[in-house]
Structure 1
Amino acid sequence: MAMGNPEKDVLEGVGPRLRALRQARSTTLADLAAETGLTASTLSRLETGKLRPTLEQLLPLARAHGVPLDDLVAAPLTGDPRIHLRPVRRSGLTIVPLTRRPGGVQAYKVVYPPAGRASTTKRQTHEGYEWFYVLTGTIRFILGEDEYVLTEGEAAEFDTRLPHWLGSADHRAAEVLTLFGPQGERAHLTPR
């Protein structure tokens, strides 16, 4: 029984995946060229398999499409598929990243300390949209001039350009599942 060339097989699949990703985003070769710094001709040759992709070409394409490099080359799964959660502590909050995919929508579990222990109700603004779902406890949510109380099982979605603040509404910690794009991720996780 003849064995195929796994490296060749992997590289031959890159072109169709690149074309499918570009078409799914309704992006032209010219638009993708402007976004990645690669020429439209190079992109076309990559998509048709006439050019063997290099790492220098695949990295900007992965960034532009918002996918891990492994997705472009359909790399076989290696090692442990579990996500190893590494909580981040910031301003009294515990933030647990639940996704490790670069770009696009990110998921986090956020634990808010009991009311009264929060250092401030200072509202913040940033680009993007945010969605959150209350897992446990009760959340006090200030959006612009309005204030809401959300309990377990309730969700909210809002434009993060509006001044907003979230925190526990009572003497218990509250946990939420939150989703937001790259702009929101930077605003929530970048140390000041």
Structure 2
Amino acid sequence: MDNSVGDVLTGVGPRLRALRRARGTTLAELADETGLTASTLSRLENGKLRPTLEQLLPLARAHGVPLDDLVAAPPTGDPRIHLRPVRRSGLVLVPLTRRAGGIQAYKVIYPPAGRTSTMTLQTHEGYEWFYVLDGHVRFVLGEQEFLLGVGEAAEFDTRIPHSIGSADSRPAELLTLFGAQGERAHLGPSGH
């Protein structure tokens, strides 16, 4: 094995440890997720065991990162990010963030408003910020209802009952940032 491959593999352990700690996951929890033993995971993180592809694939899946991120593969010269849209409950979600944990970014396309004006309110842990890229958005937050257009943004605690959707017969496109509770997107001159 030449030195460049050895150098790449040597750096895998610290990256694995950093990813696991960033997620707040224990070795035992990661072992359950990946099917690898906690001992093997510890030896990989400490550099006492050289990783194999069979070990790296479930680790990349568990951490929600591309395999290239685990081995710090050198850039290929192609700066494009290949986005893979996901369809869920009538929405089109385009993940813009490739790392696990922290604030996640998405482009979300809401279908045109239906014949009924009823919107189902939902609650969940987290904090969300969205910016309207195209169309008109009907945003319900608790007892309040807002109509937002292109260039407008909203920020809210997702534990408050809420609903977001297109306000008319056209799809609505949003840029959305979502984070765990306490992670807020502050957009102001002072950052507060």
Q: TM-score, normalised by structure 1?
A: 0.67
Matches within 5 A, 1:141-156: 141-143=139-141, 145-151=143-149, 152-156=151-155
Alpha-carbon distance, 1:107 to partner: 3.0
Tell whether the 8 Å contact from 1:92 to 1:113 is kept in structure 2 after alignment.
yes
Check whether the contact 2:136–2:148 (CA below 8 A) recurs between aligned residues: yes
Q: Structure 1 vs Structure 2: percent identity of aligned residues?
A: 68
SS of aligned partner of 1:56: helix
2-structure distance, mates of 1:85, 1:30: 32
Q: 1:24 aligns with which of 22, 25, 34?
A: 22
Partner residue in 1 for 2:189: none
Cα contact 1:112–1:174 (8 A) shared by 2: yes
> Which letter maps to 1:159?
T
- How many residues matched? 175
Structure 1 alignment gaps of length 5 or more: 182-192
In structure 1, the partner of 2:120 is 123
* Cα deviation digits, residues 125-165 of structure 1 (max 9, x gap): 48554432223454211245542223433213342794x43
Sort the Cα spacing of 1:8 and 1:64 in 2 relative to 1 into closer, same or farther, 3 A: same
C-alpha contact (below 8 Å) 2:84/2:95 kept by paired residues: no
- Who is 1:159 aligned against? 158
Gaps of 5+ in 2: 180-192
Distance 2:25 2:111 in 1: 44
Cα distance between partner residues in 1 of 2:72 and 2:45: 15
* TM-score calculated relative to the size of structure 2: 0.67
SS at match of 1:142: strand
> Which deviates more, 135-144 or 46-55?
135-144
1:5 Cα deviation after fit:
2.6
Q: CA-atom RMSD, angstroms?
A: 3.6
